[in-house]
Amino acid sequence: MLKITLIAAGSILLLAGQALAAPKGAAALDANADGKVTLAEFQTGRGGQMMAHLDGNKDGKLSREEFSAMRKPRPDAPAADAGRAGKGAERMWARVDADNDGFLSPSEMDGLLASRFKRMDADNDGALSLTELKAGADKAKVGI
């Protein structure tokens, strides 16, 4: 019995160590750990995060309703933000749904993220530093 307990405890510690070593936040986007995030890394990382978070029916694309959920304030947001829920979502939707089919496809998501990447790349070097990523995360989601 002791042997089984020790094996189980060791397995748990091994898995916990891997989880603690995994990069978090903005650093998680840097797939090759070179200290900068390329457009491809940004699109893959953020696109995957957005789809995982917003694609409620898991069909690989976002409906207008799923996309609008991104613009709603979080439950812990100040009460003043509640009145602005979804504001501007229609205007933004018209810009991002390039083929006007009522869904945001992965390629349309890449276009949206390329635009955001360009705005975040303050020094225009074609890559985002962790400082640029953190500055972009601190800004409002205006224009995503």
Q: What is the pLDDT of residues 2-40, one digit of tens each?
A: 555 445 444 454 444 333 333 457 778 899 989 899 999
Position 62 scores a pLDDT of 93
User: Distance between CA 50 and CA 43 in Å, rounded?
Assistant: 10
What is the predicted pLDDT for the residue at 76?
A: 64
Please tell me the predicted confidence (pLDDT) of residue 28. Answer: 85
Whether pLDDT at 138 is above 70: no
Query: pLDDT digit string (tens) for 43-66?
Result: 999 999 989 999 999 999 999 988
pLDDT at 91 over 60: yes
pTM comes to 0.68
Give the chain as a 3 state SS string.
Answer: CHHHHHHHHHHHHHHHHHHHHCCCHHHHHCCCCCCEEEHHHHHHHHHHHHHHHHCCCCCCCEEHHHHHHCCCCCCCCCHHHHCCCCCCHHHHHHHHCCCCCCEECHHHHHHHHHHHHHHHCCCCCCEEEHHHHHHHHHCCCCCC
Is the pLDDT at 108 greater than 70? The verdict is yes
Name which residue leads in pLDDT, 37 or 140: 37
